[in-house]
């Protein structure tokens, strides 16, 4: 096995550990990963339309509509007509969803604090810089 293959296997193993920790909370929330991502995206893009949300998530409008419908039935998303154009329907997080997204951020923050806890501040900066460099080749928000 080549050196690069060994490093890739090590990286994969480490990523699996991080994802496993992140999924602990997700399982207890009763939400799917897609629903959690949708809620977070709506938190960041409050008042987005289904089309805008679909574009941001790189999903079809129909798949996004199905997810939004489920979240609306769960009392996490509210549809509201736009004040200036009544044809446009905007999506808002319900109060319970706002609490849930705050809890999601708190959980994510704790996981990240645990990850960075074993590093001094210089190592933390270096880690973030290297991770940003690594993800920049993927495009999107890593740039």
pLDDT in tens, 75-118: 999 999 988 998 999 999 999 999 888 888 888 788 888 888 89
Residue 28 clears pLDDT 70, i.e. is over it? no
For the chain, the domain total comes to 1
CATH number of the domain enclosing 125: 1.10.10.10
* pTM for this prediction: 0.70
Nearest to 122 by CA among 133, 130, 112, 134: 130
Q: What is the domain range of residue 72?
A: 3-142
Beta carbons within 10 angstroms of residue 123's beta carbon: 11
């Amino acid at each position: 096995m080549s050196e690069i293959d060994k490093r890739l296997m090590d990286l994969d193993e480490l990523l699996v550990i991080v994802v496993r920790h992140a999924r602990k909370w997700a399982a207890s929330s009763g939400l799917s990963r897609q629903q959690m991502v949708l809620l977070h995206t709506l938190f960041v893009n409050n008042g987005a339309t289904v089309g805008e949300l679909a574009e941001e998530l790189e999903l079809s409008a129909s798949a996004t509509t199905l997810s939004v419908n489920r979240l609306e039935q769960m009392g996490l998303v509210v549809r509201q007509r736009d004040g200036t154009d009544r044809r446009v329907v905007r999506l808002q997080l319900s109060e319970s969803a706002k609490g849930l997204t705050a809890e999601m951020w708190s959980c994510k923050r704790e996981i990240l604090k645990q990850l960075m806890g074993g590093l001094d501040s210089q190592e933390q900066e270096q880690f973030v810089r290297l991770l940003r460099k690594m993800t920049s080749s993927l495009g999107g928000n890593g740039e």
